[in-house]
Each structure stands twice: as C-alpha cells, then as structure tokens.
Amino acid sequence: MKKALKVLGIVVAVIVAIALVGGGYLFYRIKQNQKNGGTVVEWSQSDGQTLRNLSYGNEKRNKYDLFIPNNPKQGAMMLFVHGGSWMGGEKEDIEYAARRFAKQGYITATMNYSRIASDTIRHSEKHAYPSFESMIDDIYACIETIKSKSAELGYELNQMAIGGYSAGAHLSMLYSTRHYASSPLPIRFMISWVGPSDMNMLFPSDEKRIQELLADSSQEAKAKQGELCMMVSGISGKPMAVENLSYDAIQQVMSNVSPSNLVSAQTPPAVLAYGGKDTLVSAEHGKKMDSVLKSFGIESQFYIYPNSGHELGHDKEYTEQVNDMISKYCKKYFK
C-alpha cells in the first residue's frame, strides 16, 4: 500500500511538473508573441502624462485617453482605434501604439466607440442603435473633442494620423476615405493593422443562395432572414425589413462601408500591415487597398508578415519595419 501511494505521489508530482513547465512555456510564448507583435511598450511619468477616461459625448462608451509627452511636437496628433469585431474591445487594447508614438514626441490618443450588440440600446437620434455609421460619428466627435481639449492644455493641433487594429483599422480607413476633407483635424496618413478593406470579401454572399433564402417560407428560413436583416441593420444603423431585403441591397450596404471602394485622389497615404497566415482577415484585404490607393497615385506601404496570423506576433522584423515606416511617415507628412 505504501509503495502504491509512493508511486501515485511520484506520478502526481510528474503531472504537476509537466503542467507547470507547459503552463510556463505557454506564458512565455504569449509574452514573446506580444513582444514580437510590438504590443509591449513601457510608459512612465518620466515620458509624459496620461489623462484617462475623458468624455467626448454623453453615451456610456464616449471615452478616450490622452497621452501627452514631455515637450510634445506642436501641431500633430495620432489617434488609435481598438479592434474587437465591432462588438468588443477597449481603448486600452491598443494603448501600446499610443505609448510608442507618444515616446517619439507626438500627442496620441486611444478611444472607445459604440459597439454593435453593446449595452447602449439607443445610441442617438441619428442612429437607432450602434452601427458602423455611429462608430464613424464617434470618431469624428472624439477628434473634435481632442482638438478642443488639447487647446485648453496649451497645445494647438492642426493635423493628425489615424490607425487601428482589425475592426479599428477598418474604421480608421473608413473614416479617412470619407472624412479626408471634413475631419476636424486634416488626416495626413492612415495605418491599418489587419483591417478589412472590402466587406463583401469579408462576408461573401452568393446571389443564388440569397435569392433562394428569401423565397423560402419555412420557419428555419425565416429565422435566417431575420439574422441577415439584423446583420445588415447593424452595419448600416438603419432597420432593414425582410420585405426590403435583396442581394443588391446587401451588396450596396457592404460597399458603402468598404474603404477600398471609397478611395479617391484625396485619400490620405497609408501604411498597411497584414498576416500571411491570417484566416480571419486575409492579406488580400491589404493587397486590394494597396492596389486601389496606388491606382490613384497615393503612396502606400504594404507589408505581409509571412509567419503571422491575425495577431501579427511571429515576425518581429516586420513589426520593426512597420513601426519604422510609420515614424518616417510622421516626419514626411506632418508639416
């Protein structure tokens, strides 16, 4: 009996040791991926000050954080927008980018925005509920507020760059293509880390299948029709009735929020970073955006991280190249 207990104790000890080693290795890999992905950037009082949870509106999520370096370079601001599939995420998720470029002397900010399926039931009179459209309005309002707040603090802003990760990158490109002329601060360039540029590519729909679904009167089909209406309504911010749903209507809604479809000769230059092994937002989104921008004669730097997925955490040398290029864009386009 004693021998059996001793053997059992050894087995348990071995299992615990394996778990500790395995857990430790997993923790190490996570930290290494974060480091390689550039998501670890230290920031202290010696670098500058941080103003947190400032308000830019009356809604619960209308908050932003402002990073002000010691002796900031006058005039320029950089805004970073978090990801989360338009349904999750927080401004702190992309704070590393704000810290990085604040350490280079630029006033930077991160922001929260209204989220699809958030706890904000009614976002505003303009939008029945949070949508891509309300998110773009949030970005506009936040920039306007940052400009005003910075002036109160003694910093006159007259230009900016905007960038984001994943859903935040999509919103940054969408804002840039739509508001290049009307933004409270002129947009000198934009940054996309794995941002969708073509919503029809992200959510492909087959015309024949859509038509068959809409012609089907079964309970299962009606449930799917309702889900499709909710998706289209969530994107556009306007309730879509089943009787108004069609393949063309869906395509139009998707096209209206696809940055690659909205590029013009006035669209700002871009730095685009995508993962070669990304199965969520393929590098084709970056390739298409890069191609469209260049067709208008707009400078675009496109990078594919060959060993990385959506997290961009396995190609440190590409992370460094992208960050260096963003720094070069700051020097080139901030006047």
By the 8 A CB rule, do 132 and 237 touch?
A: yes
The per-residue pLDDT for 45 is 86
Neighbours of 91 (CB within 10 A): 22
By the 8 A CB rule, do 83 and 89 touch?
A: yes
The per-residue pLDDT for 30 is 56
Q: Which CATH architecture has domain 48-198+258-333?
A: 3-Layer(aba) Sandwich (3.40)
SS3 (DSSP) at 107: strand
In whole angstroms, what is the distance from residue 160 CA to residue 189 CA? 8
Nearest to 50 by CA among 29, 31, 34, 66: 66
By the 8 A CB rule, do 33 and 314 touch?
A: yes
Q: Domain-by-domain residue ranges, the chain? A: 1-36, 48-198+258-333, 202-253
SS3 (DSSP) at 153: coil
The per-residue pLDDT for 160 is 98
Which parts of the chain sit beneath pLDDT 70?
Answer: 1-32, 117-125, 128
- By the 10 Å C-beta count (0-12 exposed, 13-18 middle, 19+ buried), 248 is classed as exposed
The per-residue pLDDT for 207 is 87
The per-residue pLDDT for 156 is 97
The per-residue pLDDT for 26 is 39
